[in-house]
Chain A
């Protein structure tokens, strides 16, 4: 069969490389024919900082792949853009963006009206505008060049890991950045799914065909920008995701909170983004970062810094204080894990075979305590077979090999991950209620259909407003379209069917059609609508507000099926 369908043989298949772009650091890996290998940069580093510096001296901006910082302060001069992964695909109404605008040395202007924030780097005392996508594309281009130099071949296909919390807007933007860098995305893979793949490979039974006993694993991944939790059931190379949850919390929040604790008035202090302020902000950031790192291994740290404008900070912070300052972040971690366990129907912590802790924040004692506490393990029982800093990129490289159709004669690539979607997708109905059609944690690919009807007499048009529920009660408007030509009838008579479909490449389609019951053959009365989502872009916050105003006005009073809200 392989001859007929024109399969390329493994030797001349382009094997997609795996990229894990972290908020703070980035790694590259590739399947080398027998195993996964991390690609090092010219300075022999496996971990590369995620940033891009703009300057007038070099013809093009330089990123953390090729550049070597003489000191961390260099990154904090305003000329360097970092935290792209936290900012990409977000609107200026997003609390993450407004918090970032007050704590990052480069410029993030927010108008708070639901448009994309204005981002700029300071070059020769001029704020020069850019976008997170552009910065990411520049960075990806450096990664591409590095991979090509190391592998001595052109690199085009990539598998990227993304946080589970990413909205469809963020996924679109990431894919766009890749396209700008001349990369072709085979998969955008949730980070826990990549870790699951690596775990599944490690758990593979020696003799083929034997499905082995099923093992339940809990994956907790927390980096600088995001936190993901997944529960997976693995047997015989097949890992099936039972639950997936994610949130935009990470080391950056710990850092920001601690900075605020040290300098409570920092928001107003740094708001002008003058040269002096940027410098003091940099000093504060570096000192806080160092302190947090030290708190992973010692009980308290003395911070003694001169912010340069006559302000001197001299304080001692201990672990208890640090945990109190960041209570909200840690509580969110707890709720993510419990939600994921509940969704996965893992009723007892004892059912979990392995607790897998990965990501940059996995060394923070409180995090380890939370995860082991919920899973009822001791610290020594944390799964030790995976390098916490390399897990995601190794999984991505495995997926890269699988998606490129590589066959391993030893069966090391006889793997499959069955994934779920992290967010519910639905429509607005019943006045102003979000009605999920594809629930979160639905196995992908998926197709679900739900029948609606008109709310008013002789209603000839219906508006389908599609939302993605990224967090509890926080829905993003993905797009909308009208179904027209509904025959005049009493309210509740026409059948308006809405079908949602997520295919193997995670593309979402929404289909809708109308049927009038009782009139012979059940045929749609008007042509079906088939819409790829998201259709809203850029100012989708504005659209959502406008639509919500319209749909919500006066109508909230009559919501006869209130239980849908739960």
Chain B
């Protein structure tokens, strides 16, 4: 491949290929593109965990993933920070795997991770504002979808963060727009159909 490596005999003879995180592609200047629903994006990034979950246990079927963070915590969108915290603590008491009934640990773990993500997002004023904005625009980020953004967030501090994030999500949407034949990925279509049929 790229260079000759001095391999020891026990090491595999093909040079180990490298990975580079796709999320760190330099961001081009703002490009405004037609809005594609963000749901698709969330599925894009979490397909491995979804696949593992599906293969894991049947109980996870009962966990609805299309709930908003507010619905998940069982609180209205107008709540204060204190109320969010209270709701979280209550659900933690209920779903933390340490207090789960034997045999349902995996399901409770799943739920707890979701509750935790909802709490972490809503208890941070900046992230809550961002989430509320997305929610208002009809985008629903499901779990783990913001992880990559959040990782970036930690490194990048400053006022331009929000703007930069929206660029990033635009970029993602754009890349999806490009890749899918008809403006919308398979996953997005499925999600929309499911939402329509459930409502």
Binding site for B on A (CB under 8 A): 1, 5, 7, 211, 214, 235-236, 238, 240, 402-403, 405, 416-418, 427-431, 435-436, 439, 443, 445-456, 459-465, 482, 492, 495-499, 501, 503-504, 511-513, 515, 517-518, 520-522, 524, 528, 530, 546-547, 549-551, 553-555, 560-561, 563-564, 566
Smallest Cβ distance from A23 to chain B, in angstroms? 28
- Binding stretch for chain A, among B62-70, B89-97, B132-140, B158-166: B89-97
Is B113 within 8 A of A550, CB to CB? no
Question: What bracket does the count of chain B residues touching chain A fall in?
Answer: 35 or more
**Complex formed: what's the CA distance from A129 to B195 in Å?**
66
Smallest Cβ distance from A472 to chain B, in angstroms? 16
A451, A521, A550: the one contacting B45 at CB < 8 Å is A451
Is B17 within 8 A of A463, CB to CB? yes
Return chain A residues, CB-CB under 8 Å to B85.
214
Smallest Cβ distance from B124 to chain A, in angstroms? 9
**Complex formed: what's the CA distance from A563 to B169 in Å?**
20
**Complex formed: what's the CA distance from A403 to B102 in Å?**
11
**Complex formed: what's the CA distance from A546 to B7 in Å?**
8
- Binding stretch for chain A, among B8-16, B29-37, B71-79: B8-16
Given contacts A443-B116, A522-B43, A530-B52, contact A453 B19 (CB under 8 A): yes
Given contacts A451-B21, A518-B179, contact A403 B45 (CB under 8 A): no
Given contacts A416-B99, A499-B48, contact A445 B16 (CB under 8 A): no
A429, A459, A496, A517: the one contacting B1 at CB < 8 Å is A459
Is A503 within 8 A of B97, CB to CB? yes
Return chain B residues, CB-CB under 8 Å to A1.
101
Q: Count how many pairs of residues, one from A and one from B, have CB atoms less than 8 Å apart in the complex.
A: 191
Nearest B-chain residue to A558, judged by Cβ = B2
B6, B17, B100, B155: the one contacting A455 at CB < 8 Å is B17
At the interface, yes or no: B58 with Cβ under 8 Å from chain A? no
**Complex formed: what's the CA distance from A430 to B2 in Å?**
14
At the interface, yes or no: B196 with Cβ under 8 Å from chain A? no
Is A430 within 8 A of B21, CB to CB? yes
**Complex formed: what's the CA distance from A492 to B93 in Å?**
43
Smallest Cβ distance from B168 to chain A, in angstroms? 13
Is B51 within 8 A of A524, CB to CB? yes
At the interface, yes or no: B128 with Cβ under 8 Å from chain A? no
Return chain A residues, CB-CB under 8 Å to B18.
429-431, 454-456, 462-463, 551, 555
Return chain B residues, CB-CB under 8 Å to A554.
2-3
Is A504 within 8 A of B21, CB to CB? no
Nearest A-chain residue to B52, judged by Cβ = A511
Given contacts A439-B151, A504-B109, contact A455 B47 (CB under 8 A): no
